[in-house]
């Protein structure tokens, strides 16, 4: 009988890997969410010079479990005027694509639910589906703030899908495959893609922040202005599902970044002990999760017009430029790595150096428009990022 | 057993004419837009099915993807159509707060 | 060098495109430099081509591109480079170049500077096309082109009514000539099945068609020539054309364009030779025009008009030469005339420019001290015009007269000699009134000044030309020009086969006679205007009615007005009535009917989208029915 | 042993498509219609998967469910649709339209069912490579034209919706 990986019959292995993948997915989502909530609290506490949860359990480890139980045991409240079927459907619509997208994440060598040759496209597609859920939630809540949140998120998510996909396209151009496994295998050594395509990475990182409604792009659920936007009317388990899927989304985009730009499960000792790959992959993923938390603790929230303007006037043009340059380079050079790296790093430098100038022009324009101090104060607040 | 080509085509035909009926019958501009989308989708299904068939016939050439290519173009058309259509609807709605196409007959002779 | 002959018209065209596109905004003053440079380079290329032709490239056809192909009828835009066209090329390019240089100074203070230097190279381009064409159609294109440019440039100062009117007049009169050209062209094509010079002339040589047809063709072409070259009866536009800027008068209405008719007839020499009697007519018209214009020139006071009428009369000489079967002499005189007449115009232009834009000689006088350079160059040019030996005009004019006598037109010879006397008289008169005597307008005189160098240098060059160019025809009847051009106009049968070799005796007799008459004219002029013996006023009073006739230019314009313009106006009125009542009536009826039917049809426009969609689907239904009908086949029967 | 799956899924998706489509046409709650339209699109993607065109299927979801449905919901939310029962919720021309559509639809569907050729999913490796190949070689010019069309649509939509007063 034929021998597959780990000396298991391939047909059984085919089923088994699916089981493993789904198991990992659920593990990552549920425990991951819990862990992330804990981490978030702790890290924010550290950054804000607080202590954070410490009563329940050692270092307050059990705090999040307590919260989870509280949420589970809460009464299921649905406002009278909400649009029942959509109100109920929305969390599922948000949650299921996120869960499904775990299927193609390459946790380790041969630890892939399904190695689609269009895996990346699959992930993008599922990512775009969550928008629907959010909009529906906002609409079904039959609440001004929720509707605003829904509309905002619709605009924001659709807009930021563009730079997100554009960022991926560059990598796909360079690697020449949409399959996550191929992309992982294409960067075994230390020369991971981020060294070659940093600008694509930056583009994707920013877009991913917006896609997952994280700071500084968390307008759809802005507590201070929209009383949590489309989440206003949700409570209990549904609210928890929303948050689960948010953290899941964060995990997914982090995993995508880890795979595309940081060599996925590659790392010391993987060739000897394949299972180590899972460890590396998880570590890299969580590094990005921590990065997200750091950003959240650092940056204030943007204004909606700044958000859109940044996406359409800065991010997308630069990403398109990047794609054009990369395509030409890949077409021209036999070994495109060095020129690609040069152009990409130049673009990154341009972005970092250029942004303050654009902001200064905004400020001057604003000053010329409004003379009074109020206008100036608004201008400063508008300048925040 | 496999599904015959005709079944796909029949489904696409039925969906197409459902959409057509919707376009003819409904009075809400947004709904009419939706129905147009349905019609486009039906054509997509037919195109893909036939292209699959052509892929079998096409001199055994699995690279024969004409239908699918046209589906891609249909996607483009659909996206553009929805964007512009909705823009028009919003512009009209701004002038007269209605999306009922029967009430938007200022241009009638 | 011949291979890229297309550069010669190409460069001025490029200059035109550049100036007309960017002149107003960006180029400004540079337009003049650009145009002049382009024409200069063309001149250099032309000289190079001249040397190749002299080295023996007698007939080269440089194809440019296929202009049109109808069935087996091809019109190739090709340059025909042979001695004749080469000679014209040289004259056109070189004279144009110097006049361009001159114009930079003359137009310096004009607002339309860039406009001027857009039309000028365009004109040069058209003229070169005309010259280099190898078939009548392309020649006609250039022909119309120069007509257009002449219109644009005469009416250059279109703000004033006179130039606009003069431009219109010139254009209309040229249209009549162009009509003749077209008739000739089309008849040529119908008769010979081609418009290509070479083919046509071959056919004429081998099996000439009926005499009548040939005469018709030649008459038509000659009509065109009279139109363009301002011969009787279509001459009267040329004096009015003097409303344009002086460089325009010099280039277009003295040196180049007006010689297009001469060139056309010379080019068609084989045709005209075959059609015998027409030649006599050409000669007659030429001689008549010569004396006619000369008499008018006697009494004009506008300096430029004097020059204009003298141009007409000189052109008459050329046609006389063509008519008496001496095309070489005609071309010779064309070349020399191009130089000294351009010089005369530029000189008078310099006077006008330096004398506060006054053209009336009665207010001038004594300018010699103020503008000596202009004066001396004018004197040289005047001598050339009066055919004083050894200046340029002497050789060419005497050759014309001599061949007229030798080829059996003694009367025309007499007329020509007499006209020579008149010419000498009026040019003396013009120069004296302008430069000698006491200044009659103190104020203007005090402000008079010599023109800037950019204008005087061309004067000097052209003066040198007017002195030297004549020697290309030395020794007479056997000079360089003869041996150069003869192969082009040689037809064997024709009278163009003037005997080679100089007959010194008869030459000297003719020269002596005509020169004597010329000097007589000069002396008469001097005595009249310097000593006042006989006093011009007294003479005019004595002449009485004849003087009035001359002053009023034989009332030709009035005659034309009454005879033709009024008729045309009446006809136009009839056409207008027809348009208003019949055509507009029809159109209105039609519109009314359409309005009615539209009123009925607009019921269909319910404005309800659904109905439109339903109609679309109904169309689909129809298509399906038809398709199904054909598929099942019961629609075939 | 799994070959019952394909007809089963086909039936499922066909049911979804036709049912949801019919609902879109007949329902009166516009948000429900939008959602059901999204469902139709999703089932259509399933159909594409059955036909072995997974790239097309993913594009279908990405564009239709991810973008177009959202846009339509946008429109729905901006244009406050009052479901006030106008005297005729359908057009007056409904009977005509129904008749015409039926007259066309029945023969077409009948004709369609007469294709008996079996559909076998495409070769291994999916349709991504072939699709890209034919899209970027034979159809590169239409591709460019489509891009221009999209640009025009973008600009046009912005211009149409832009308010003049600001």
> What pLDDT is stored for residue C501 in this prediction?
59
Residue of C nearest to D101 (CA): C617
> What pLDDT is stored for residue B64 in this prediction?
59
Model confidence at B63: pLDDT above 70? no
Contacts of C617 in chain B (CB under 8 A): 20, 24
DSSP characters over C625-636: HHHHHHHHTTTT
Distance from CA of C635 to the nearest CA of B (A): 26
Contacts of D90 (CB under 8 A, 6+ apart): B25, B26, B27
Structure tokens at C37: 């440079």
The answer to which of A275-289, C213-227, C416-430, D89-103 has the lowest mean pLDDT is D89-103
Among residues C239, C441, C427, the alpha carbon closest in space to that of C347 is found at C427
- The DSSP letter of residue C387 is T
> What pLDDT is stored for residue A347 in this prediction?
85
> What pLDDT is stored for residue C61 in this prediction?
81
Q: Between residues A9 and C98, which one has the greater pLDDT? A: C98
DSSP characters over C286-332: HHHHHHHHHHHHHH--BHHHHHHHHHHHHHHHHHHHHHTT-HHHHHH
Handedness of CA C38, C43, C44, C45 (dihedral sign): positive
Contacts of B104 in chain C (CB under 8 A): 607, 609
Q: Between residues C440 and A261, which one has the greater pLDDT? A: A261
SS3 C244: coil
Contacts of B93 in chain D (CB under 8 A): 78-79
> What pLDDT is stored for residue C42 in this prediction?
92
C-alpha span between C50 and C58 (Å, rounded): 10
C-alpha span between A176 and A186 (Å, rounded): 9
Measured between CB atoms, does B31 come within 8 Å of chain C? no
- pLDDT mean over B85-95: 84
Contact between A95 and A249 under an 8 Å Cβ cutoff? The reply is no
Model confidence at A70: pLDDT above 70? yes
Are residues C604 and B27, on separate chains, in Cβ contact within 8 Å? Answer: no
Are residues B105 and C608, on separate chains, in Cβ contact within 8 Å? Answer: yes
pLDDT band at C40 (very low <50, low <70, confident <90, very high): very high
Q: Which domains does chain D have, with CATH numbers?
A: 5-92 (1.20.120.1200)
Alpha-carbon separation of residue C582 from C579, C592, C596 (angstroms): 6, 15, 21
Are residues D66 and A139, on separate chains, in Cβ contact within 8 Å? Answer: no
Q: Between residues C287 and C208, which one has the greater pLDDT? A: C287
> What pLDDT is stored for residue C37 in this prediction?
92
C-alpha span between C539 and C532 (Å, rounded): 10
Q: What is the pTM of this model?
A: 0.57
pLDDT band at A384 (very low <50, low <70, confident <90, very high): very low
Contacts of B92 in chain D (CB under 8 A): none
Q: What angle do CA A74, A76, A79 make, to 5 degrees?
A: 130
Model confidence at C221: pLDDT above 80? yes
Are residues A132 and D32, on separate chains, in Cβ contact within 8 Å? Answer: no
Distance from CA of B38 to the nearest CA of D (A): 7
> What pLDDT is stored for residue C494 in this prediction?
43
List chain B domain ranges.
5-95
> What pLDDT is stored for residue C495 in this prediction?
45
Helices (H), chain D: 5-26, 30-50, 54-60, 69-78, 94-112, 128-136, 140-161
- pLDDT mean over C239-265: 86
Are residues D100 and C628, on separate chains, in Cβ contact within 8 Å? Answer: no
Model confidence at C93: pLDDT above 50? yes
Burial class, D157, CB count within 10 angstroms (exposed 0-12 / middle 13-18 / buried 19+): buried
Q: Which fold has domain B5-95?
A: Helix Hairpins (1.10.287)
Do A and C touch (≥3 CB pairs < 8 Å)?
Answer: no
Distance from CA of D88 to the nearest CA of C (A): 13
Interchain CB contacts (distance < 8 Å): B and D:
260
Measured between CB atoms, does D53 come within 8 Å of chain A? no
> What pLDDT is stored for residue C181 in this prediction?
92
C-alpha span between C20 and C118 (Å, rounded): 5
Per-residue pLDDT of A312-355, as tens digits, reads: 888 888 888 888 888 888 888 888 888 888 888 888 888 888 77
> What pLDDT is stored for residue A336 in this prediction?
82
Model confidence at C280: pLDDT above 60? yes
Q: Rounded to the nearest 10 degrees, what angle do helices D69-78 and B29-57 cross at?
A: 170
Contacts of B54 in chain D (CB under 8 A): none
Q: Between residues A140 and C188, which one has the greater pLDDT? A: C188
**Mean confidence (pLDDT) of chain C:** 85
Residue of B nearest to C600 (CA): B109
The answer to which of C379-383, C435-439, D55-59 has the lowest mean pLDDT is C435-439
The answer to which of B91-105, C286-300, C329-343 has the lowest mean pLDDT is B91-105
> What pLDDT is stored for residue C493 in this prediction?
45
Residue of D nearest to C618 (CA): D100
Largest interatomic CA distance in chain A = 83
Structure tokens at A19: 């089981």
C-alpha span between A302 and A283 (Å, rounded): 30
Do B and C touch (≥3 CB pairs < 8 Å)?
Answer: yes
Among residues D70, C474, B10, A243, the alpha carbon closest in space to that of A251 is found at A243
pLDDT band at C635 (very low <50, low <70, confident <90, very high): low
Q: Between residues A227 and A346, which one has the greater pLDDT? A: A346
Contacts of A154 in chain D (CB under 8 A): 70, 73-74
Model confidence at C13: pLDDT above 70? yes
Q: Rounded to the nearest 10 degrees, what angle do helices C113-132 and C260-267 cross at?
A: 10
Q: Rounded to the nearest 10 degrees, what angle do helices C30-54 and C113-132 cross at?
A: 20
Q: Between residues C178 and B6, which one has the greater pLDDT? A: C178
Are residues A116 and D73, on separate chains, in Cβ contact within 8 Å? Answer: no
Measured between CB atoms, does B87 come within 8 Å of chain C? no
The answer to which of B83-87, C164-168, C489-493 has the lowest mean pLDDT is C489-493
> What pLDDT is stored for residue A371 in this prediction?
58
pLDDT band at B65 (very low <50, low <70, confident <90, very high): low
Q: Give the number of C-alpha atoms closer than 13 A to the C-alpha of residue C330, restricted to the C-beta side.
A: 33
The answer to which of A253-257, A268-272, C72-76, C290-294 has the lowest mean pLDDT is C72-76
Measured between CB atoms, does D30 come within 8 Å of chain A? no
C-alpha span between A108 and C607 (Å, rounded): 63
Detail the DSSP E strand segments found in A115-258: none
The answer to which of C33-37, C343-347, C502-506 has the lowest mean pLDDT is C502-506
> What pLDDT is stored for residue C540 in this prediction?
78
Distance from CA of C620 to the nearest CA of B (A): 11
Model confidence at A373: pLDDT above 70? no
């Amino acid at each position: 009988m034929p021998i597959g990986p780990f000396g298991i019959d391939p047909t059984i292995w085919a089923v088994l890997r699916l089981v493993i993948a789904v198991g990992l997915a659920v593990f990552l989502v549920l425990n991951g969410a819990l862990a992330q909530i804990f981490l978030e609290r702790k890290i924010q506490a550290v950054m804000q010079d607080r202590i954070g949860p410490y009563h329940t359990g050692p270092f307050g480890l059990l705090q999040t479990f307590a919260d989870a139980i509280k949420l589970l045991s809460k009464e299921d409240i649905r406002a009278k005027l909400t649009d029942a079927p959509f109100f109920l459907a929305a969390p599922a619509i948000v949650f299921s694509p996120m869960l499904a997208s775990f299927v193609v994440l390459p946790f380790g060598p041969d630890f892939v639910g399904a190695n689609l040759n269009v895996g990346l496209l699959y992930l993008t597609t599922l990512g775009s589906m969550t928008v629907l859920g959010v909009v529906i939630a906002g609409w079904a809540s039959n609440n001004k703030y929720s509707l605003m949140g829904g509309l905002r998120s619709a605009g924001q998510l659709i807009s930021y899908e563009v730079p997100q996909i554009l960022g991926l396209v560059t990598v796909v151009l360079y690697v020449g495959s949409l399959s996550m496994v191929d992309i992982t295998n294409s960067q075994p050594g230390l020369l991971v893609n981020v060294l070659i395509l940093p600008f694509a990475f930056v583009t994707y990182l920013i877009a991913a922040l917006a896609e997952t409604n994280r700071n500084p792009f968390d307008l759809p659920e802005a507590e201070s202005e929209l009383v949590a936007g489309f989440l206003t009317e949700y409570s209990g388990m549904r609210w928890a599902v929303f948050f689960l899927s948010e953290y899941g989304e964060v995990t997914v985009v982090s995993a995508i970044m880890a795979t595309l730009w940081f060599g996925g499960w590659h790392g010391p000792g993987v060739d000897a002990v394949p299972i180590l790959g899972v460890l590396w992959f998880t570590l890299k993923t969580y590094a990005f999760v921590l990065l997200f938390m750091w950003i959240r603790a650092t940056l204030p929230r943007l204004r909606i017009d700044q958000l859109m303007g940044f996406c359409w006037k800065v991010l997308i043009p630069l990403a398109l430029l990047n794609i054009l340059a990369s395509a030409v380079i890949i077409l021209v050079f036999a070994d495109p790595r060095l020129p690609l790296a040069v152009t990409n790093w130049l673009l990154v430098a341009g972005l970092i150096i250029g942004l303050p100038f654009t902001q200064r022009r905004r400020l001057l324009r604003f000053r010329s428009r409004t003379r009074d101090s109020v206008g100036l104060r608004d201008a400063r607040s508008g300048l925040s990022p | 057993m496999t599904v015959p080509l005709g079944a796909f085509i029949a489904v696409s035909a039925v969906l197409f004419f459902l959409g057509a009926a919707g376009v003819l019958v409904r009075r809400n501009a947004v709904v009419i837009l939706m129905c147009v989308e349905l019609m486009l989708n039906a054509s997509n299904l037919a195109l893909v099915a036939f292209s699959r068939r052509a892929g079998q016939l096409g001199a055994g050439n699995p690279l024969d993807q004409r239908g699918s290519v046209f589906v891609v173009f249909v996607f483009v058309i659909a996206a553009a159509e929805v964007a512009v259509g909705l823009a028009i609807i919003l512009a009209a709605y701004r002038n007269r707060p209605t999306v009922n196409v029967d009430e938007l007959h200022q241009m009638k002779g | 060098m011949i291979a890229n002959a297309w550069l010669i018209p190409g460069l001025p065209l490029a200059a035109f495109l550049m100036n007309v596109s960017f002149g107003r905004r960006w180029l400004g003053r540079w337009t003049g430099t650009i145009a002049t440079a382009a024409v200069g380079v063309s001149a250099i290329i032309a000289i190079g081509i001249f040397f190749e032709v002299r080295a023996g490239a007698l007939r080269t056809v440089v194809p440019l591109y296929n202009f049109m192909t109808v069935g087996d009828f091809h019109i190739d835009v090709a340059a025909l480079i042979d001695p004749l066209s080469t000679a014209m090329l040289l004259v056109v390019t070189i004279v144009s170049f110097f006049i361009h240089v001159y114009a930079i100074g003359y137009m310096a203070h004009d607002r339309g500077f860039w406009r001027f230097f857009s039309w000028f190279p365009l004109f040069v381009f058209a003229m070169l096309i005309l010259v280099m064409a190898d078939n009548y159609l392309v020649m006609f294109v250039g022909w119309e082109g120069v007509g257009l440019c002449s219109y644009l440039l005469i009416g250059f100062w279109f703000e004033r009514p006179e130039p606009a009117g003069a431009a219109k007049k010139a254009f209309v009169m040229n249209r009549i000539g162009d009509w003749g050209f077209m008739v000739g062209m089309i008849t040529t094509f119908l008769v010979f099945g081609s418009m290509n010079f070479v083919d046509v002339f071959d056919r004429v040589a081998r099996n000439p068609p009926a005499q009548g047809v040939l005469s018709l063709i030649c008459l038509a072409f000659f009509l065109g020539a009279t139109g363009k070259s301002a011969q009787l009866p279509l001459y009267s536009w040329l004096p009015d054309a003097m409303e344009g800027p002086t460089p325009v008068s010099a280039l277009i209405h003295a040196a180049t364009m007006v010689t297009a008719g001469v060139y056309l007839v010379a080019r068609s020499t084989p045709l005209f030779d075959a059609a015998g009697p027409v030649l006599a007519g050409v000669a007659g018209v030429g001689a008549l025009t010569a004396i006619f214009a000369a008499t008018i020139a006697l009494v004009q006071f506008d300096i430029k008009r004097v020059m204009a009428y003298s141009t007409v009369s000189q052109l008459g000489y050329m046609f006389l030469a063509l008519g008496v079967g001496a095309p070489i002499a005609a071309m010779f005189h064309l070349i020399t005339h191009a130089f000294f007449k351009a010089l005369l115009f530029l000189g008078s232009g310099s006077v006008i420019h330096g004398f506060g834009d006054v053209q009336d000689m009665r207010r001038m006088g004594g300018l010699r001290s103020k503008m000596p350079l202009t004066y001396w160059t004018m004197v040289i040019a005047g001598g050339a015009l009066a055919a004083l030996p050894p200046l340029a005009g002497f050789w060419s004019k005497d050759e014309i007269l001599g061949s007229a006598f030798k080829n059996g037109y003694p009367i025309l010879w007499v007329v020509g000699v007499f006209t020579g006397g008149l010419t000498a008289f009026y040019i003396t008169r013009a120069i004296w009134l302008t430069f000698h005597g006491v200044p009659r307008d103190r104020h203007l005189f005090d402000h008079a000044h010599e023109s800037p160098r950019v204008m005087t240098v061309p004067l000097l060059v052209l003066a040198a030309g007017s002195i030297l160019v004549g020697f290309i025809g030395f020794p007479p009847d056997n000079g360089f020009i003869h041996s150069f051009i003869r192969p082009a106009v040689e037809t064997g049968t024709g009278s163009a086969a003037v005997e080679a070799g100089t007959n010194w005796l008869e030459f000297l007799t003719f020269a002596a006679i005509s020169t004597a008459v010329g000097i007589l004219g000069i002396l008469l002029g001097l005595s009249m205007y310097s000593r006042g013996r006989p006093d011009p006023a007294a003479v005019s009073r004595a002449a009485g009615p004849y003087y009035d006739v001359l002053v009023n230019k034989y009332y030709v314009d009035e005659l034309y007005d009454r005879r033709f313009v009024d008729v045309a106006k009446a006809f136009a009125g009839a056409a207008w009535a027809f348009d208003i009542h019949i055509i507009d009536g029809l159109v209105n009826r039609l519109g009314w009917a359409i309005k009615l039917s539209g009123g009925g049809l607009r019921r269909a426009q319910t404005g309800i989208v659904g109905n439109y969609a339903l109609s679309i689907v109904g169309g689909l239904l129809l298509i399906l029915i038809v398709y199904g009908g054909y598929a099942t086949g019961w629609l075939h029967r | 042993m799994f070959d019952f799956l394909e007809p089963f899924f086909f039936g499922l998706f066909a049911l979804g498509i036709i049912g949801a489509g019919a609902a879109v046409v007949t329902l009166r709650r516009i948000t429900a219609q939008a959602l059901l339209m999204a469902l139709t699109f999703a089932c259509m993607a399933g159909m594409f998967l059955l036909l072995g065109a997974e790239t097309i299927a993913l594009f279908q979801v990405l564009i239709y469910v991810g973008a177009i449905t959202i846009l339509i919901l946008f429109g729905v939310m901006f244009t406050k649709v009052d479901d006030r029962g106008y005297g005729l919720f359908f057009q007056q021309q409904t009977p005509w339209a129904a008749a015409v559509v039926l007259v066309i639809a029945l023969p077409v569907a009948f004709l369609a069912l007469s294709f008996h050729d079996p559909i076998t999913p495409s070769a291994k490796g999916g349709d991504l490579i072939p699709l890209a190949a034919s899209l970027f070689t034979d159809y590169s010019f239409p591709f460019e034209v489509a891009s221009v069309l999209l640009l025009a649509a973008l600009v046009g939509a912005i211009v149409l919706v832009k308010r003049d007063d600001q």
